[in-house]
């Protein structure tokens, strides 16, 4: 228990982008668009409130956008500000775009001459970061996926198939076809496989204008599936995380996986 608490603390201090207290999110200006080449603009931030910029910008290094045809596209006008990052995306193709920031990293802790040291970075940087005389080395790999979906015209599903890496959300109902008063079914997969018992948090935005988070806690069933009943229209934030030992970094002995998505629910 104590160890768990410690590692949690370590996580919070090392990985603000995937910590428990702060919410990481991408928020598109709108999710359902039309026209020959509509543009969407997306904010990316880490904050306590949804969806307000009051803490950190979210770095855009891991930005991965998949067009409806399956090709990777680059966002325009990328900018990292004091509290938020921003980018624009022209939707030149019809169908659904998957917009994600994927962070693949490692964090390590060790003792060096009786002092605690910490490191956070890429797996390649790890060998140089930890000195030969380090003791009690703990290396944890992390994969975090933060994503959202936007559609020009009719929704398509080619771009939203799981890649098989980390935690991913498989929308059994299309993520750009969510309406208040309806229920949506999702599946969570870890490395492409459904996982039972994953805990999911769903929170509607505009938290600044109410006294409670009003979060909904859900758990995946044997098929990795869960349902969300949308009470009100709005931008929603969905989050889950898990840990396993399936590391791809040789020095790492555990792996932490996180997932967050922003979904828009429209009025009927």
Partner 1 sequence: MNTKLTGVILFLALAGVGWADEPTADVELTIEIPRMNVSEYHRPYVAVWIQDEDRQAVANLTVWYQMTESQEGAGTKWLPDLRQWWRRSGRSLKMPVDGVSAATRPAGDHKLSFAFTDPRFAKLSPGDYSLVVEASREVGGRELLTLPFTWPSEKLQVQEAKGEEELGEIKLTLQPAK
Residues 160-219 that bind partner 1 (CB under 8 A): 177, 179
Q: Which of 32, 60, 73, 216 forms a contact with partner 1 (CB under 8 A)?
A: 32
173 Cβ partners below 8 Å, 6+ apart? Answer: 184, 185, 186
Least distance (Å) between residue 267 CB and partner 1: 7
35 binds partner 1 (CB under 8 A): yes
Task: Report helix, strand or coil for 8.
Answer: helix
Least distance (Å) between residue 216 CB and partner 1: 24
Cis before residue 51, ω within 30 degrees of 0? yes
Query: What span, in angstroms and rounded, lies between the C-alpha atoms of 26 and 88?
Result: 12
268 binds partner 1 (CB under 8 A): yes
Assess contact for 123 and 250: CB atoms under 8 A: no
Give the DSSP per-residue string, 153-166. Answer: SS---GGGS--SSS
157 binds partner 1 (CB under 8 A): no
Of 95 and 144, nearer to partner 1 (C-beta) is: 95
Structure tokens given for 142: 């992390």
Q: How many CB atoms lie within 10 A of CB 191?
A: 16
Least distance (Å) between residue 43 CB and partner 1: 20
Query: Within its chain, how far is the Cα of 239 from the centroid?
Result: 7
Binding residues for partner 1, rule CB under 8 A, total: 15
Residues 36-55 that bind partner 1 (CB under 8 A): 36, 38
Assess contact for 45 and 55: CB atoms under 8 A: yes
Of 59 and 94, nearer to partner 1 (C-beta) is: 94
34 binds partner 1 (CB under 8 A): yes
Least distance (Å) between residue 97 CB and partner 1: 15
Of 104 and 174, nearer to partner 1 (C-beta) is: 174
33 binds partner 1 (CB under 8 A): yes
Supply the DSSP symbol for 179: B
Q: Quick one: which segment of 77-85, 126-134, 146-154, 236-244 binds partner 1 (CB under 8 A)?
A: 146-154
Query: What span, in angstroms and rounded, lies between the C-alpha atoms of 57 and 54?
Result: 9
Least distance (Å) between residue 52 CB and partner 1: 25
Query: Within its chain, how far is the Cα of 33 from the centroid?
Result: 23
Binding site for partner 1 (CB under 8 A): 32-36, 38, 151, 153-155, 177, 179, 266-268
């Amino acid at each position: 228990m104590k160890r768990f608490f410690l590692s949690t603390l370590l996580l919070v201090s090392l990985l603000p982008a995937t910590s428990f207290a702060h919410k990481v999110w991408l928020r598109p200006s709108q999710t359902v668009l039309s026209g020959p080449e509509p543009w969407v603009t997306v904010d990316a931030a880490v904050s306590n409130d949804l969806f307000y910029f009051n803490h950190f910008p979210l770095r855009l290094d891991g930005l991965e956008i998949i067009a409806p045809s399956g090709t990777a596209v680059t966002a325009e006008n990328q900018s990292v500000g004091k509290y938020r990052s921003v980018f624009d995306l022209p939707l030149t193709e019809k169908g659904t775009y998957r917009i994600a920031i994927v962070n693949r990293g490692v964090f390590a802790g060790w003792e060096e001459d009786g002092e605690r040291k910490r490191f956070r970075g890429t797996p390649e940087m790890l060998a140089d970061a930890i000195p030969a005389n380090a003791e009690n080395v703990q290396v944890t790999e992390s994969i975090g996926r933060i994503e959202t979906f936007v559609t020009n015209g009719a929704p398509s599903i080619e771009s939203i198939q799981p890649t098989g890496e980390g935690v991913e959300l498989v929308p059994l109902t299309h993520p750009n076809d969510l309406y208040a008063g309806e229920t949506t079914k999702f599946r969570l997969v870890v490395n492409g496989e459904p996982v039972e018992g994953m805990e999911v948090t769903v929170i509607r935005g505009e938290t600044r204008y109410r006294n409670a988070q009003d979060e909904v806690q859900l758990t995946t069933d044997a098929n990795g599936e869960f349902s969300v009943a949308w009470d009100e229209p709005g931008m929603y934030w969905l989050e889950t995380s898990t840990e396993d030992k399936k590391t791809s970094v040789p020095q790492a002995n555990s792996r932490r996986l996180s997932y967050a998505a922003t979904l828009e629910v429209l009025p009927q």
